[in-house]
Amino acid sequence: MKRATLILVPYLWLLVLFLAPFLIVLKISLSDAALAIPPYTPTLKDGIGALIAELDFENFIFLTEDDLYWKAYLSSLRIAVISTLLTLLVGYPIAYGMARAPDEWRATLMMLVILPFWTSFLIRVYAWMGILSNEGLLNQLLIWLGLINDPLTILNTNTAVYIGIVYTYLPFMILPIYAALDRLDSSLDEAAQDLGCTRMQAFWLVTIPLSRNGIVAGSFLVFIPALGEFVIPSLLGGSGTLMIGKVLWEEFFNNRDWPVASAVAVILLLILVIPIVLFQRNQQKQQEAEQ
């Protein structure tokens, strides 16, 4: 096979099915909504001139005027940040425990972390619906224990969304942290204690800084997809849960306002560019450090 073919086939595929669609989104976000199919004007058939002449920022102006969108972006950011921190709090002790587990357990523990990843995302989110509902298992348990008298409303609130994100993205947090901790020489911890640190001090002064790369990588791996999440807010969240992925879906499927949906997508992407660039830089730094 010639080198050119080797390069061209995947290249063209991505140009047509990744880059081109993207430019179309950008273009449509600058178009007017119409009640035809496709429900936007101008279309490619109207010619390039008309295409450019009729482009405008109306949809973006609309987004800034209607505070639904502002709130949705801010609320997505808040939910993503909070759930990333929660995932870190839950994931770090697990990764730490795995790194300190006897060698013969490691492979099994590793498999147990990876297994949910291969299991359907949708099903894992769905599993919580039965647990968190008013008549759900959690409320039954709490009432039976006598901790509460009336069932708590958890399903269809932001709390359920946090639980869902922590649960589904937990492996993404555990794996990079575990990888960082696993590489850590255990004699470093012992050296710190030998030099007079308590175990707690050794943990804060040695273990945490040295697993920093894992923490950063894991946090980005949770934060980035959480920001654009759709399934979790729509199944576990309520009408009060505003997330931009859900707004985009509804604009598109329910309101059939393609230009606005496209504008929402463009802005979501702009918001994502910063964490993605930071993540890339972190990964690169890590790779260079390893060489």
Partner 1 sequence: MKRMSWFNVTSLTLGFAFLYLPMLVLIFYSFNASKLVTVWAGFSTRWYGELLQNEAFLDAAWVTLKVAVISSSIATVLGTMAAYVLVRGGRFLGRTLFSGMIYAPLVMPEVITGLSLLLLFIGIGLDRGVLTIVLAHTTFSMCYVSVVVSSRLVSFDRSLEEAALDLGSTPFEAFRLVTLPIIAPAVISGWLLAFTLSLDDLVIASFTAGPAATTLPIKIFSAVRLGVSPEINALSTIMILIVTVGVVTASLVSKRNALRAQNEVQAAERAAA
Residue of 32, 179, 225, 282 that binds partner 1 (CB under 8 A): 225
By CB under 8 A, residue 10 contacts partner 1: yes
Q: How far is the CB of 121 from partner 1 (least distance, A)?
A: 5
Which residue, 149 or 291, has its beta carbon nearer to partner 1? 291
125-144 positions binding partner 1, by CB under 8 A: 126-131, 133, 135-137, 140
Q: CB of residue 66 vs partner 1: minimum separation in angstroms?
A: 19
According to CB under 8 A, which residues from 24 to 53 bind partner 1?
24-25, 28, 38, 43-44
Binders in 178-217 for partner 1, by CB under 8 A: none
Smallest gap, in angstroms, from Cβ of residue 112 to partner 1? Answer: 6
Which one of 114, 188, 208, 278 is in contact with partner 1 (CB under 8 A)?
114
Choose the stretch contacting partner 1; rule: CB under 8 A; options: 20-28, 49-57, 66-74, 176-184. 20-28
Q: How far is the CB of 135 from partner 1 (least distance, A)?
A: 5
Among 34, 152, 179, 269, binds partner 1 (CB under 8 A): 269
| Amino acid occupying residue 103 | D
DSSP line for the chain: --HHHHHHHHHHHHIIIIIHHHHHHHHHHTSEE-SSSS-EES-GGG-HHHHHHT--SHHHHHHHHSHHHHHHHHHHHHHHHHHHHHHHHHHHHHHHHHHTS-HHHHHHHHHHHHHHHHS-HHHHHHHHHHHHSTTSHHHHHHHHTTS-SS----TTSHHHHHHHHHHHHHHHHHHHHHHHHHHS-HHHHHHHHHTT--HHHHIIIIIHHHTHHHHHHHHHHHHHHHHT--HHHHHT--TT---HHHHHHHHHHTS--HHHHHHHHHHHHHHHHHHHHHHHHHHHHHHHHH-
Residue choice 170, 216, 260, 263 for contact with partner 1 (CB under 8 A): 170
CB of 58 to partner 1, least distance (A): 18
Question: In one letter, which amino acid is 127?
Answer: A
Site for partner 1 in 231-260 (CB under 8 A): 231, 234-235, 245, 248-249, 252, 258
The piece of 51-59, 67-75, 107-115, 176-184 that touches partner 1 (CB under 8 A) is 107-115
